[in-house]
A = this chain, B = another copy of it.
Protein backbone atom coordinates (compact mmCIF):
# COMPACT_ATOMS: atom_id res chain seq x y z
CA UNK A 1 0.00 0.00 0.00
CA UNK A 2 1.11 3.55 -0.68
CA UNK A 3 1.86 5.85 2.25
CA UNK A 4 -0.97 8.12 3.44
CA UNK A 5 -0.89 11.64 2.03
CA UNK A 6 -1.01 14.47 4.51
CA UNK A 7 -3.77 17.00 4.09
CA UNK A 8 -3.42 20.51 2.74
CA UNK A 9 -4.06 23.41 5.04
CA UNK A 10 -7.78 24.14 5.31
CA UNK A 11 -8.43 27.86 5.02
CA UNK A 12 -6.80 30.24 7.44
CA UNK A 13 -8.37 29.14 10.74
CA UNK A 14 -6.26 29.81 13.84
CA UNK A 15 -4.72 26.50 14.96
CA UNK A 16 -5.62 25.55 18.55
CA UNK A 17 -2.49 23.47 19.08
CA UNK A 18 -4.67 20.51 20.04
CA UNK A 19 -5.10 17.20 18.23
CA UNK A 20 -8.37 15.26 18.04
CA UNK A 21 -7.81 11.54 17.40
CA UNK A 22 -10.72 9.39 16.24
CA UNK A 23 -10.88 5.64 15.54
CA UNK A 24 -12.95 4.79 12.46
CA UNK A 25 -13.85 1.32 11.24
CA UNK A 26 -14.61 0.34 7.64
CA UNK A 27 -16.95 -2.62 7.53
CA UNK A 28 -19.86 -3.82 5.40
CA UNK A 29 -19.31 -0.97 2.92
CA UNK A 30 -19.75 1.65 5.67
CA UNK A 31 -17.57 3.87 7.83
CA UNK A 32 -18.47 3.92 11.49
CA UNK A 33 -18.84 6.39 12.93
CA UNK A 34 -20.05 8.02 9.70
CA UNK A 35 -19.86 11.48 11.23
CA UNK A 36 -16.96 12.98 13.18
CA UNK A 37 -17.06 16.24 15.11
CA UNK A 38 -13.87 18.22 15.71
CA UNK A 39 -13.28 21.70 17.18
CA UNK A 40 -12.33 24.18 14.43
CA UNK A 41 -8.56 24.72 14.51
CA UNK A 42 -7.75 21.28 15.91
CA UNK A 43 -5.54 18.86 14.07
CA UNK A 44 -7.55 15.73 13.19
CA UNK A 45 -5.94 12.29 13.23
CA UNK A 46 -7.96 9.29 12.07
CA UNK A 47 -6.98 5.71 12.89
CA UNK A 48 -8.77 3.72 10.21
CA UNK A 49 -9.24 -0.03 10.69
CA UNK A 50 -10.53 -2.08 7.80
CA UNK A 51 -12.65 -4.90 9.25
CA UNK A 52 -14.36 -5.62 5.95
CA UNK A 53 -13.80 -8.55 3.59
CA UNK A 54 -12.58 -6.25 0.83
CA UNK A 55 -10.10 -3.42 0.55
CA UNK A 56 -11.05 0.22 1.18
CA UNK A 57 -9.49 3.63 1.50
CA UNK A 58 -10.48 7.00 2.92
CA UNK A 59 -10.19 10.25 1.00
CA UNK A 60 -11.05 13.64 2.49
CA UNK A 61 -12.13 16.68 0.51
CA UNK A 62 -9.05 18.58 1.72
CA UNK A 63 -6.83 16.13 -0.17
CA UNK A 64 -5.80 13.87 2.72
CA UNK A 65 -5.99 10.17 1.89
CA UNK A 66 -4.96 6.88 3.40
CA UNK A 67 -4.12 4.89 0.28
CA UNK A 68 -5.62 1.43 -0.02
CA UNK A 69 -6.04 -0.40 3.28
CA UNK A 70 -5.89 -4.20 3.25
CA UNK A 71 -8.30 -6.42 5.18
CA UNK A 72 -7.50 -6.36 8.88
CA UNK A 73 -5.04 -3.48 8.63
CA UNK A 74 -5.06 -0.15 10.51
CA UNK A 75 -3.53 3.04 9.15
CA UNK A 76 -3.13 6.46 10.70
CA UNK A 77 -4.21 9.48 8.64
CA UNK A 78 -3.08 12.99 9.57
CA UNK A 79 -5.95 15.09 8.21
CA UNK A 80 -4.26 18.38 9.13
CA UNK A 81 -5.72 21.47 10.82
CA UNK A 82 -9.49 21.48 10.31
CA UNK A 83 -10.94 24.88 9.45
CA UNK A 84 -14.40 23.79 8.34
CA UNK A 85 -16.60 20.89 7.37
CA UNK A 86 -15.15 18.19 5.13
CA UNK A 87 -16.54 15.31 3.11
CA UNK A 88 -14.89 11.91 3.21
CA UNK A 89 -15.42 8.80 1.13
CA UNK A 90 -13.93 5.53 -0.04
CA UNK A 91 -12.55 6.08 -3.53
CA UNK A 92 -12.63 2.43 -4.64
CA UNK A 93 -14.88 1.91 -7.61
CA UNK A 94 -18.55 2.14 -6.67
CA UNK A 95 -18.01 2.40 -2.93
CA UNK A 96 -18.87 6.08 -2.64
CA UNK A 97 -21.96 5.63 -4.74
CA UNK A 98 -22.94 2.71 -2.50
CA UNK A 99 -22.92 5.14 0.42
CA UNK A 100 -19.42 4.71 1.84
CA UNK A 101 -19.03 8.29 3.06
CA UNK A 102 -17.80 10.08 6.16
CA UNK A 103 -18.72 13.58 7.31
CA UNK A 104 -16.33 15.77 9.30
CA UNK A 105 -18.12 18.63 11.08
CA UNK A 106 -16.49 21.43 13.06
CA UNK A 107 -17.90 22.68 16.36
CA UNK A 108 -18.21 26.36 17.15
CA UNK A 109 -21.03 25.93 14.87
CA UNK A 110 -21.89 26.50 11.30
CA UNK A 111 -25.49 27.64 11.50
CA UNK A 112 -26.61 27.73 7.92
CA UNK A 113 -29.23 30.46 7.77
CA UNK A 114 -27.61 32.78 10.29
CA UNK A 115 -26.00 35.05 7.77
CA UNK A 116 -23.41 36.80 9.90
CA UNK A 117 -21.98 33.56 11.26
CA UNK A 118 -21.97 31.93 7.89
CA UNK A 119 -20.23 34.84 6.23
CA UNK A 120 -17.52 34.74 8.88
CA UNK A 121 -16.98 31.02 8.53
CA UNK A 122 -17.06 31.24 4.77
CA UNK A 123 -14.17 33.65 4.90
CA UNK A 124 -12.29 31.07 6.88
CA UNK A 125 -13.08 27.96 4.94
CA UNK A 126 -14.04 28.43 1.30
CA UNK A 127 -11.89 29.96 -1.39
CA UNK A 128 -13.27 33.35 -2.42
CA UNK A 129 -14.64 32.81 -5.93
CA UNK A 130 -15.28 36.50 -6.65
CA UNK A 131 -13.38 37.62 -9.73
CA UNK A 132 -10.70 40.18 -8.87
CA UNK A 133 -11.27 43.70 -10.20
CA UNK A 134 -9.20 44.47 -13.29
CA UNK A 135 -6.31 46.53 -11.88
CA UNK A 136 -5.36 49.90 -13.33
CA UNK A 137 -1.94 50.44 -14.86
CA UNK A 138 -0.34 48.66 -17.76
CA UNK A 139 2.38 46.76 -15.89
CA UNK A 140 1.51 44.19 -13.25
CA UNK A 141 4.28 42.91 -10.95
CA UNK A 142 3.38 39.65 -9.21
CA UNK A 143 5.30 37.42 -6.81
CA UNK A 144 4.65 33.73 -7.34
CA UNK A 145 6.25 31.58 -4.68
CA UNK A 146 6.25 27.81 -4.92
CA UNK A 147 5.39 26.39 -1.50
CA UNK A 148 4.83 22.75 -0.62
CA UNK A 149 1.94 22.89 1.83
CA UNK A 150 0.33 19.86 3.45
CA UNK A 151 1.27 17.41 0.74
CA UNK A 152 0.30 19.69 -2.13
CA UNK A 153 2.55 21.78 -4.34
CA UNK A 154 1.25 25.34 -4.61
CA UNK A 155 1.80 28.80 -5.99
CA UNK A 156 1.56 31.22 -3.04
CA UNK A 157 0.21 28.55 -0.69
CA UNK A 158 -3.18 27.93 -2.32
CA UNK A 159 -4.65 25.50 -4.86
CA UNK A 160 -5.34 26.94 -7.40
CA UNK A 161 -2.74 29.72 -7.30
CA UNK A 162 -3.86 33.36 -7.39
CA UNK A 163 -6.16 34.66 -10.17
CA UNK A 164 -4.30 37.31 -12.19
CA UNK A 165 -6.14 39.87 -14.32
CA UNK A 166 -5.39 42.56 -16.84
CA UNK A 167 -6.25 44.07 -20.22
CA UNK A 168 -5.08 43.40 -23.76
CA UNK A 169 -1.75 45.19 -24.07
CA UNK A 170 -0.77 44.91 -20.40
CA UNK A 171 2.60 43.52 -19.34
CA UNK A 172 2.97 41.02 -16.50
CA UNK A 173 6.26 40.76 -14.67
CA UNK A 174 6.29 37.62 -12.56
CA UNK A 175 8.94 36.87 -9.98
CA UNK A 176 8.90 33.11 -9.49
CA UNK A 177 10.61 31.81 -6.35
CA UNK A 178 11.03 28.11 -5.62
CA UNK A 179 10.68 27.44 -1.89
CA UNK A 180 9.85 23.79 -2.57
CA UNK A 181 12.05 20.73 -2.28
CA UNK A 182 12.22 19.74 -5.98
CA UNK A 183 12.52 21.63 -9.27
CA UNK A 184 9.55 23.70 -10.38
CA UNK A 185 8.76 26.26 -13.05
CA UNK A 186 5.82 28.03 -14.69
CA UNK A 187 4.13 28.23 -18.10
CA UNK A 188 1.67 31.08 -18.77
CA UNK A 189 -0.68 30.36 -21.65
CA UNK A 190 -1.56 34.09 -21.47
CA UNK A 191 1.67 35.10 -23.22
CA UNK A 192 3.49 34.14 -26.40
CA UNK A 193 7.23 33.61 -26.11
CA UNK A 194 9.96 31.00 -26.55
CA UNK A 195 9.62 28.57 -23.63
CA UNK A 196 13.34 27.80 -23.35
CA UNK A 197 14.32 30.30 -20.65
CA UNK A 198 11.17 31.50 -18.87
CA UNK A 199 9.66 28.02 -18.50
CA UNK A 200 12.85 26.25 -17.44
CA UNK A 201 12.78 24.30 -14.17
CA UNK A 202 14.51 26.11 -11.33
CA UNK A 203 16.15 24.53 -8.31
CA UNK A 204 14.84 24.93 -4.78
CA UNK A 205 16.04 28.29 -3.51
CA UNK A 206 16.31 29.84 -6.96
CA UNK A 207 14.16 32.47 -8.65
CA UNK A 208 13.49 33.72 -12.16
CA UNK A 209 11.61 36.58 -13.76
CA UNK A 210 8.95 35.77 -16.35
CA UNK A 211 7.76 38.74 -18.40
CA UNK A 212 4.96 38.57 -20.94
CA UNK A 213 2.64 40.97 -22.71
CA UNK A 214 -0.99 39.91 -23.06
CA UNK A 215 -1.93 40.42 -26.69
CA UNK A 216 -5.11 38.32 -26.72
CA UNK A 217 -8.15 38.18 -24.43
CA UNK A 218 -9.26 35.03 -22.64
CA UNK A 219 -9.10 33.05 -19.43
CA UNK A 220 -5.69 31.41 -19.73
CA UNK A 221 -4.20 28.59 -17.73
CA UNK A 222 -0.86 28.80 -16.00
CA UNK A 223 0.81 25.75 -14.53
CA UNK A 224 4.11 24.24 -13.54
CA UNK A 225 6.30 23.55 -16.56
CA UNK A 226 8.48 20.88 -14.95
CA UNK A 227 8.26 17.26 -16.13
CA UNK A 228 6.29 15.18 -15.47
CA UNK A 229 3.66 17.89 -15.78
CA UNK A 230 0.89 15.39 -15.05
CA UNK A 231 2.32 15.05 -11.55
CA UNK A 232 2.95 18.76 -10.97
CA UNK A 233 -0.56 19.70 -12.10
CA UNK A 234 -2.20 16.85 -10.18
CA UNK A 235 -0.35 18.07 -7.08
CA UNK A 236 -1.84 21.57 -7.33
CA UNK A 237 0.35 23.81 -9.50
CA UNK A 238 -2.03 25.78 -11.69
CA UNK A 239 -4.13 28.92 -11.86
CA UNK A 240 -5.92 31.37 -14.15
CA UNK A 241 -5.06 34.64 -15.86
CA UNK A 242 -8.03 36.68 -17.09
CA UNK A 243 -7.36 39.13 -19.92
CA UNK A 244 -10.52 41.16 -20.47
CA UNK A 245 -11.97 41.44 -23.96
CA UNK A 246 -12.04 45.17 -24.90
CA UNK A 247 -15.83 45.36 -24.84
CA UNK A 248 -16.52 43.31 -21.73
CA UNK A 249 -19.83 44.54 -20.26
CA UNK A 250 -20.20 45.07 -16.52
CA UNK A 251 -22.35 42.50 -14.70
CA UNK A 252 -23.81 42.32 -11.19
CA UNK A 253 -21.70 39.39 -9.95
CA UNK A 254 -18.58 37.90 -11.50
CA UNK A 255 -17.05 34.62 -10.32
CA UNK A 256 -14.00 32.55 -11.29
CA UNK A 257 -14.17 28.76 -11.03
CA UNK A 258 -11.15 26.60 -11.82
CA UNK A 259 -12.07 22.92 -12.13
CA UNK A 260 -9.39 20.34 -11.45
CA UNK A 261 -8.84 16.73 -10.42
CA UNK A 262 -6.98 15.06 -7.58
CA UNK A 263 -5.53 11.56 -7.77
CA UNK A 264 -4.53 8.69 -5.53
CA UNK A 265 -2.83 5.56 -6.79
CA UNK A 266 -4.67 5.37 -10.08
CA UNK A 267 -3.82 8.06 -12.62
CA UNK A 268 -6.94 7.18 -14.65
CA UNK A 269 -9.50 7.66 -11.87
CA UNK A 270 -9.59 10.82 -9.78
CA UNK A 271 -10.28 10.59 -6.07
CA UNK A 272 -11.81 14.07 -6.16
CA UNK A 273 -12.86 16.72 -8.68
CA UNK A 274 -13.19 20.25 -7.37
CA UNK A 275 -14.00 23.85 -8.18
CA UNK A 276 -11.25 26.11 -6.81
CA UNK A 277 -9.33 23.32 -5.12
CA UNK A 278 -11.67 21.63 -2.66
CA UNK A 279 -14.49 19.20 -3.34
CA UNK A 280 -17.98 20.53 -2.58
CA UNK A 281 -16.70 23.63 -0.74
CA UNK A 282 -19.43 25.86 -2.18
CA UNK A 283 -22.16 23.52 -0.99
CA UNK A 284 -21.16 24.29 2.59
CA UNK A 285 -20.41 27.92 1.80
CA UNK A 286 -22.46 29.00 -1.21
CA UNK A 287 -21.69 31.74 -3.67
CA UNK A 288 -24.23 34.52 -3.24
CA UNK A 289 -26.27 36.71 -5.58
CA UNK A 290 -29.49 38.69 -5.62
CA UNK A 291 -32.58 37.69 -7.63
CA UNK A 292 -32.48 39.31 -11.05
CA UNK A 293 -28.69 39.66 -10.99
CA UNK A 294 -26.78 39.03 -14.18
CA UNK A 295 -23.99 36.68 -13.12
CA UNK A 296 -20.84 35.90 -15.10
CA UNK A 297 -18.87 32.71 -14.46
CA UNK A 298 -15.32 32.59 -15.78
CA UNK A 299 -14.51 28.87 -15.91
CA UNK A 300 -11.12 27.30 -16.58
CA UNK A 301 -10.59 23.56 -16.70
CA UNK A 302 -7.10 22.89 -15.32
CA UNK A 303 -7.53 19.15 -15.75
CA UNK A 304 -5.08 17.48 -15.87
CA UNK A 305 -7.27 14.92 -17.68
CA UNK A 306 -11.07 15.19 -17.52
CA UNK A 307 -13.43 17.17 -19.74
CA UNK A 308 -15.83 19.46 -17.87
CA UNK A 309 -19.49 20.08 -18.74
CA UNK A 310 -20.20 23.17 -16.66
CA UNK A 311 -23.90 23.62 -15.90
CA UNK A 312 -25.99 25.69 -13.47
CA UNK A 313 -29.12 23.92 -12.27
CA UNK A 314 -32.21 26.11 -12.71
CA UNK A 315 -30.43 28.51 -15.05
CA UNK A 316 -29.81 28.86 -18.78
CA UNK A 317 -26.79 30.56 -20.29
CA UNK A 318 -27.77 33.40 -22.65
CA UNK A 319 -24.12 34.34 -23.21
CA UNK A 320 -21.22 32.01 -24.01
CA UNK A 321 -17.67 33.15 -24.67
CA UNK A 322 -15.32 30.26 -25.41
CA UNK A 323 -11.60 30.28 -26.16
CA UNK A 324 -11.36 33.73 -27.65
CA UNK A 325 -14.76 34.34 -29.14
CA UNK A 326 -18.40 34.98 -28.31
CA UNK A 327 -20.47 31.96 -29.25
CA UNK A 328 -23.87 33.06 -27.94
CA UNK A 329 -25.48 36.45 -27.21
CA UNK A 330 -28.58 37.38 -25.22
CA UNK A 331 -30.23 38.45 -28.49
CA UNK A 332 -29.98 34.89 -29.87
CA UNK A 333 -33.21 32.91 -29.62
CA UNK A 334 -31.28 29.87 -28.41
CA UNK A 335 -29.75 29.20 -25.00
CA UNK A 336 -27.04 26.91 -23.68
CA UNK A 337 -27.15 24.37 -20.86
CA UNK A 338 -23.46 23.45 -20.86
CA UNK A 339 -20.05 25.07 -21.28
CA UNK A 340 -17.86 22.21 -22.55
CA UNK A 341 -14.18 22.49 -21.64
CA UNK A 342 -11.36 20.06 -22.29
CA UNK A 343 -8.31 20.41 -20.06
CA UNK A 344 -6.62 23.81 -20.59
CA UNK A 345 -9.74 25.34 -22.17
CA UNK A 346 -11.67 28.24 -20.68
CA UNK A 347 -14.36 30.80 -21.24
CA UNK A 348 -17.26 32.54 -19.58
CA UNK A 349 -20.99 32.15 -19.43
CA UNK A 350 -23.67 34.52 -18.19
CA UNK A 351 -27.14 34.01 -16.81
CA UNK A 352 -29.79 35.98 -15.02
CA UNK A 353 -30.86 34.13 -11.86
CA UNK A 354 -34.61 34.63 -11.94
CA UNK A 355 -35.76 34.27 -8.32
CA UNK A 356 -34.53 33.57 -4.78
CA UNK A 357 -33.38 30.02 -4.04
CA UNK A 358 -30.42 27.65 -4.19
CA UNK A 359 -28.98 26.94 -7.64
CA UNK A 360 -26.43 24.10 -7.75
CA UNK A 361 -23.60 24.24 -10.27
CA UNK A 362 -21.85 21.10 -11.46
CA UNK A 363 -19.81 19.42 -14.06
CA UNK A 364 -22.66 17.47 -15.68
CA UNK A 365 -20.19 14.61 -16.11
CA UNK A 366 -22.08 13.07 -13.22
CA UNK A 367 -19.34 10.84 -11.85
CA UNK A 368 -17.24 13.98 -11.41
CA UNK A 369 -20.12 15.89 -9.81
CA UNK A 370 -20.29 13.02 -7.30
CA UNK A 371 -16.56 13.40 -6.72
CA UNK A 372 -17.03 17.00 -5.72
CA UNK A 373 -17.41 19.11 -8.88
CA UNK A 374 -20.49 20.56 -7.25
CA UNK A 375 -21.40 23.80 -5.51
CA UNK A 376 -24.33 26.11 -4.85
CA UNK A 377 -25.30 29.72 -5.55
CA UNK A 378 -27.60 31.13 -2.91
CA UNK A 379 -29.88 33.77 -4.42
CA UNK A 380 -31.69 36.11 -2.06
CA UNK A 381 -34.36 38.71 -2.65
Contact = CB atoms under 8 A, between A and B. Distances in A.
A218 B307 contact: no
Given A305-B365, A365-B305, A216 B313 contact: no
Contact of A366 (B187, B230, B308, B369): B230
Contacts of A192: 314-316, 351-352, 354
Contact of A345 (B234, B269, B340): B340
Nearest to A347: B334
Contact of A229 (B228, B265, B318, B366): B366
A181 interface: no
Nearest to A352: B192
Nearest to A368: B305
A324 B314 contact: no
Interface residues of A, number: 84
B305 A195 contact: no
A77 to B, nearest CB: 21
Interface in A308-359: 308-309, 311, 313-318, 320-321, 323-325, 327-328, 332-338, 340, 342-346, 351-352, 354-359
Given A305-B366, A354-B194, A337 B323 contact: yes
B365 A313 contact: no
A83 interface: no
B313 A324 contact: no
Nearest to A314: B195
Among A229, A304, A320, A344: residue with most chain B CB under 10 A: A344
B97 A228 contact: yes
Interface in A200-244: 215-218, 220-221, 225, 228-231, 233-234
A370 interface: yes
A194 B356 contact: yes
A326 to B, nearest CB: 8
Contacts of A245: 333-334
Contacts of A7: none
Contacts of A197: 357
A30 interface: no
A187 B267 CA distance: 33
Contacts of A132: none
30 contacts: A93-B267, A94-B265, A97-B230, A189-B316, A192-B315, A192-B316, A194-B356, A194-B357, A194-B359, A195-B359, A216-B316, A218-B336, A229-B366, A229-B370, A268-B268, A268-B367, A303-B309, A303-B365, A304-B365, A305-B365, A305-B366, A307-B307, A309-B342, A321-B334, A325-B332, A337-B344, A338-B342, A338-B344, A342-B365, A343-B366
